[in-house]
């Protein structure tokens, strides 16, 4: 894995899952390096708190660990506008489109997500479900 791989929050959240196979697979993928955006950090923190009942200090510690392996991309107006174009063209949700825009701006070739269309290519970026 390298900086040409982008992770959706739904893949990283399996690290917290009771599903040990997916949890260890997700951690192994992330520890190999890759890219996320600030949006992924926010989505991860929200689900960790609401669904998994984690406290903010625990969430901060876990996110700090993930940031050791993953490059975090800032969000900007260009990313937002590109995300809107992707949403319009491909009919993805606004939030998924923003992630795809971040991955494209980071020049990633692979986008790991459990929610999108496995194998679909968008402007040179291939969506992969790592659990298939």
Helix 94-105, helix 38-50: angle, nearest 10? 140
The pLDDT, as a whole number, for residue 3 is 77
Specify the CATH number for the domain of residue 88.
3.40.50.1010
Percent of the chain clearing pLDDT 90 (strictly above): 92
The pLDDT, as a whole number, for residue 126 is 97
Q: For residue 106, give the 3-state DSSP assignment.
A: coil
DSSP secondary structure, 2-42, as one string: -TTEEE-HHHHGGGGSS-HHHHHHHHHHHHT-EEEEHHHHH
Provide the domain limits for residue 32: 5-128
Cα distances (angstroms) measured from residue 29 to each of 15, 17, 22, 50 = 10, 15, 10, 24
The pLDDT, as a whole number, for residue 2 is 59
The pLDDT, as a whole number, for residue 115 is 87
Name the one residue in this structure whose structure tokens are 């971040």. Answer: 102
Query: What is the tens place of the pLDDT at every residue in 91-116?
Result: 999 999 999 999 999 999 999 999 89
Query: What is the tens place of the pLDDT at every residue in 5-26?
Result: 999 999 999 999 999 999 999 9
Query: What is the tens place of the pLDDT at every residue in 50-71?
Result: 999 999 999 999 999 999 999 9
Cβ contact 103:125 at 8 Å? yes
Residue 1 has pLDDT above 60, yes or no: no
Percent of the chain clearing pLDDT 70 (strictly above): 98
Q: Residue 100: which of 16, 63, 25, 88 has the closest Cα?
A: 88
- d(CA 65, CA 36) in angstroms, rounded, equals 13
- pTM confidence score: 0.93
**What is the pLDDT confidence band of residue 43, given thresholds at 50, 70 and 90?**
very high
Residue 74 has pLDDT above 80, yes or no: yes
Number of domains in the chain: 1
């Amino acid at each position: 894995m390298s900086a040409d791989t982008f992770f959706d929050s739904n893949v990283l959240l399996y690290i917290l899952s009771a599903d040990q196979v997916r949890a260890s697979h997700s951690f192994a993928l992330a520890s190999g390096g890759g890219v996320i955006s600030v949006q992924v950090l926010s989505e991860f923190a929200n689900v960790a708190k609401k669904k998994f009942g984690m406290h903010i200090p625990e969430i901060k510690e876990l996110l700090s660990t993930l940031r050791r392996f993953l490059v975090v991309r800032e969000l900007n107006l260009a990313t937002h506008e590109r995300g809107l174009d992707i949403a319009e063209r491909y009919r993805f949700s606004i939030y998924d489109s923003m992630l795809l825009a971040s991955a494209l701006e980071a020049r990633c070739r692979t986008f790991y997500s459990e929610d999108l269309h496995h194998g679909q290519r968008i402007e040179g970026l291939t969506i992969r479900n790592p659990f298939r």
